[in-house]
Structure 1
């Protein structure tokens, strides 16, 4: 299923990182601010399908997809051709000065494919954080209310407002306050760590949220609930069954805007086009980015027409929002998702990942939980022997081995103890199998 000419095979010709990557890292440390981190300082020369090739000639198996960005593959031919053609015509006008068809076409596509058959509108932006921030602006404008409810373990971005919405302090919030006000945090339905067990998690967590919002904030003061249908940076937490529908119903009953943050979960990643479809939840507003444009920066807010149109003219927008080349790439990426049946492919990948990782969990009690949907799967590491204390040391050892063997692997979690797997949806079965064997070897070495 490779989509580029990059050979689809792992190849290790130097230590990782190799000498050229180490030299580039030396230059980086002298030129780039220290606050910008990198998971694996291996400098990329080209990438495609399920492979990332570095400047030393090593070819690494990609289980990260640029944090769920290159769902359709890196340098996917459709995306490259569409963006290049647009770049040859014009690179920028600013949609707020001279509009163009590509922006309208992307909005039409988003209105068509996002959940719900109600009339919709969309706006295009640059990043997931910008999309979430604009969703809050729209909700506040439409309702005349100010309070925003978010959840434990949430991640929504790095702007001032979205840092307030984000739960984890390090590295996202430390030293950057004060943050925006009128943000209230509620319990998350985290099945693995729910006190009375995963089977009770959904309804009990929803009841707690309803009670706390009612008693501590007042539902009539709440403009929006903002929630990831599967939490990303928080550790790929899939809420207990029934939690999302209950929260959405509470919002409907009280005139609260339900915002689904699908920045990481969107565009076929979870085995549905959008993760909220799994339990039939129809959000009032949905924020998207990452997988929308095959690697080019683009984001969106899509929602009910009456909400989106409540903002005064000129109240939404930005210089680069809906860049023409990014719009062309997005239309090509959506075509790839639909024509290459990548929703179904995500389910196939998920079935393989979950089967292999659950077998691994049965062998090693350091694996406390395996969870996820589609090609968005996580492994949570614990002390073992019935002790669910987060095990960051084991995680570091596993990741170190995988990186050295040429497997790009990401981590996550409020407690820093979760391995997350986000392979491109075009990865071949042979590379998927080889990557999992490297991961299995890493656990055997523990």
Structure 2
């Protein structure tokens, strides 16, 4: 894989005001992307964002960069990442741009791109953009400058698209709690489920620019659990800041993660003959998912962590269904990228069709105990992973488990962390092994 200076597994991301997430870099990034995308008359990009205060800054800077390259910008305002992907394709734009740092706190932000087909840009195109960032910036002639306009009906178009992916007539009689993380779905999320007939208790729908993902959404689910129990709802839906993830809570307040969601959808697709190709998970997907899918006759392939790698493997093997434990679920028979609202609607389709609750639907998959510990690093994570002491500790734990579990050590693609994961049959043994490995990594990093 070619080393890249700015683009990670999901675009460019960092702390606002620090490299690379500075106003001058965003200006140059817009110009560089505009040049690579073609520039000139008729080239048009869509720009959406989540609710971070810094989104205004980066929206203006990107717009100026695109204008300098001769590219027109359509501004969508706050809209889920998958909404930008959908509208890029539906409105026949050359590219879509999302200003978001997903599940990260407000002080981070990022920029990611979609191509004209609503899919993520290829590595090759991102590499071209990086190369163009090293070229001195030049402005097109005044008469060729790109213009910008706002698309007022973007939210409504996306709401109608999401509703169209629901496989039953309505959600009448269902009471749902929907946590929008004070993020990009704070308006469209509740509207989708309400317009399908559900009674919705909405959480995380009062963004102030600083409270995105703060104590709410898919990374902080205690409030959702409590509200589901207290309100008598059938289930809860947790989105993240840009609404490309979905986790759920059953009627008892128990979390249903991305692996269980993937199982529920896959089981229904198998039963109805609608599952093409293998299911694709990641190195982090629970062994219980692999075993449950095996009983259905549906093989599980494991990609590297990151929804772009899940997508690549799905396309390579002709699959339509894949996802991550964290809640990125991809249904290529419904849309082109991970979509939290669409994911929730696929699960709700199963529940309505089969007349069962979420806990019952998830019961066919038995999860192995899994412990994940994030170890902060200040230097190169890859070097720490290659350290002899870490390699020896890993070999020791794998020998102890003797095939009864899995060990995974990897560098995060979005944060300065090493993720230590151990999965085994016995929960106490799993915890001890994970803590042992995490302490070893800490010592090496120190």
How high is the TM-score relative to the length of structure 1? 0.27
State the structure with bigger RCO (CA 8 A, min sep 6), 1 or 2.
Answer: 1
How high is the TM-score relative to the length of structure 2? 0.27
